[in-house]
């Protein structure tokens, strides 16, 4: 992984299965049990590693902790309404207007604290932190000789604001009061950055490069124009540079499509950024960013979840052969793997890098 993140050619293209809760279905658990029983989720994850003879990057076990984060995050139940899994029914956000247009001034003055609605969840957060701490993940990762996908996660203020306002009202605000939206974003950058140190301290002792996941979705160019994206670039850039200054690689988790604004991301130094793409054209990203940044993703769930193993292999082969030259490429799904991905399709993904991903004979 170190070689790939340095934008050099390793011996083989790595494969990173971006698990959400597929380990549950692959090992006979319900998604609900996988979410809420952290030790069992870790055992299921290790079992999946054994079933598929290992992978090249650890992407986690239960995702429960993100829903109990006590700081601003679109997944946090401290701020937003979520229904967590029941049986094999996945979690669901109930998006609604939690912030009025007049509240921009409140955010500029006081940050996101006034929108923290469920402080009583702090006890649950600490309980899950303790469960994760007891797993001894670091020892297992050293034994497997792999690193974690990231050691911390952050969202830009613009995404948090968009979820507080709700998507339709946010998009109207971007058109009608863009200066106020930008002012609120700029005012809360330091509040968001202040959450990182404790996360890096908690996970930073693990093997391998230290990456911080910087995820956003609401300023993609299938939502707003490239001209509107430019309004938000300064605070995106400020957060990115702050992460780099902490000695970490920035892993941009870009949900939706950013193909038309990829040029902005050329402003960062070589080897300091890593892109997990959803709908963004990975071949265009390779053309624009391939000499400076690591790329992965853009394997859609309709292929990985609903395609045949042959269709999965063909899709992977096309991407591997189009992106591997020069290094800096990892085979990975868009966002996360479907929870109900067939085992045969996951195996086809792994076998694709073994068939087509070697750089040298």
pLDDT digit string, tens, across residues 204-263: 555 567 999 999 999 999 999 999 999 999 999 999 999 999 999 999 999 999 999 999
C-alpha to C-alpha distance for 22 and 63, rounded to whole angstroms: 11
Look up the domain containing 301 and give its range.
2-351
Residue 3's pLDDT band, with cuts at 50, 70 and 90, is very high
How confident is the model at residue 201, as a pLDDT?
A: 80
β-strand partners of 358: 12
How confident is the model at residue 200, as a pLDDT?
A: 86
C-alpha to C-alpha distance for 144 and 68, rounded to whole angstroms: 29
C-alpha to C-alpha distance for 57 and 15, rounded to whole angstroms: 7
In a domain, 359, yes or no: no
How confident is the model at residue 209, as a pLDDT?
A: 72
In a domain, 194, yes or no: yes
What CATH number should be reported for the domain holding residue 290? Answer: 3.20.20.210
| Token reading at 207 | 């093997």
| Token reading at 300 | 């859609």
Residue with tokens 């139940």: 77
Residue 152 near residue 209 (C-beta atoms within 8 A): no
Q: For residue 185, what is the enclosing H or E element?
A: helix 178-187
Is pLDDT above 90 for 339?
Answer: yes
Give the single-character DSSP code of 10.
-
Length of the chain counted residue by residue: 361
Rg (CA), the chain: 20
Residue 202's pLDDT band, with cuts at 50, 70 and 90, is confident
How confident is the model at residue 136, as a pLDDT?
A: 86
Mean pLDDT of 289-298: 98
In a domain, 10, yes or no: yes
In a domain, 361, yes or no: no
In a domain, 295, yes or no: yes
**Cα dist. 243→215, 216, 254 in Å?**
13, 15, 17
In a domain, 358, yes or no: no
| Token reading at 351 | 């076998």
pLDDT digit string, tens, across residues 160-181: 999 999 999 999 999 999 999 9
| Token reading at 290 | 């391939």
User: What SS3 class is residue 77?
Assistant: coil
Number of folded domains that form the chain = 1
Residue 210 near residue 151 (C-beta atoms within 8 A): yes
- Check: pTM over 0.75? Answer yes or no: yes
In a domain, 325, yes or no: yes
Mean pLDDT of 333-357: 98
C-alpha to C-alpha distance for 285 and 8, rounded to whole angstroms: 17
| Token reading at 22 | 């597929």
* Residue bearing the bigger pLDDT, 197 or 308: 308
Closest residue by Cα to residue 331 from 307, 358, 304, 357: 357
How confident is the model at residue 156, as a pLDDT?
A: 98
pLDDT digit string, tens, across residues 47-83: 999 999 999 999 999 999 999 999 999 999 999 999 9
Cα atoms found within 13 Å of the Cα of residue 72, Cβ hemisphere only: 24
C-alpha to C-alpha distance for 261 and 259, rounded to whole angstroms: 6
In a domain, 356, yes or no: no
Angle separating helix axes 178-187 and 157-165, nearest 10 degrees = 120
């Amino acid at each position: 992984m170190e070689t790939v993140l340095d934008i050099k050619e390793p011996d083989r293209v790595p494969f990173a299965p971006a698990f959400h809760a597929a380990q549950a279905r692959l090992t006979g658990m319900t998604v609900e049990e996988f979410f809420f029983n952290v030790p069992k989720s870790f055992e299921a994850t290790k079992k999946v590693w054994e079933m598929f003879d290992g992978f090249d990057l650890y992407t986690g076990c239960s995702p429960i902790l993100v829903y109990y984060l006590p700081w601003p995050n679109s997944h946090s139940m401290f701020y937003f309404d979520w229904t967590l899994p029941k049986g094999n029914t996945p979690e669901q956000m109930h998006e609604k207007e939690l912030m009025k247009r007049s509240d921009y001034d409140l955010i500029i003055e006081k940050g996101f604290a006034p929108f923290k609605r469920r402080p009583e969840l702090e006890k649950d957060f600490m309980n899950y932190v303790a469960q994760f701490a007891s797993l001894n993940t670091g020892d297992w990762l050293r034994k497997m000789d792999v690193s974690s996908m990231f050691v911390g996660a952050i969202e830009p203020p613009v995404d948090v604001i968009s979820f507080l306002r709700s998507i339709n009202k946010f998009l109207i605000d971007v058109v009608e009061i863009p200066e106020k939206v930008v002012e609120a974003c700029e005012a809360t950058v330091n509040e968001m950055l202040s959450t990182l140190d404790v996360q890096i301290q908690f996970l930073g002792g693990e093997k391998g490069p230290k990456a911080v996941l910087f995820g956003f979705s609401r300023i993609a160019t299938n939502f707003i124009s490239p001209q509107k994206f430019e309004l938000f670039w300064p605070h995106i850039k400020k957060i990115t540079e702050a992460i780099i200054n902490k000695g970490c690689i920035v892993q941009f988790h870009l949900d939706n499509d950013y193909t038309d604004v990829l040029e902005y991301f050329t402003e960062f130094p070589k080897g300091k950024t890593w892109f997990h793409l959803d709908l963004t054209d990975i071949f265009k990203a390779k053309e624009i960013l391939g000499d400076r940044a690591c790329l992965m993703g853009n394997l859609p769930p309709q292929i990985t979840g609903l395609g045949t193993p042959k269709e999965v292999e063909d899709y992977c082969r096309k991407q591997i052969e189009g992106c591997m030259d020069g290094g800096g490429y990892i085979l990975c799904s868009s966002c996360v793997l479907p929870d109900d991905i067939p085992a045969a399709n996951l195996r086809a993904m792994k076998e694709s890098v073994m068939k087509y991903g070697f750089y040298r004979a």
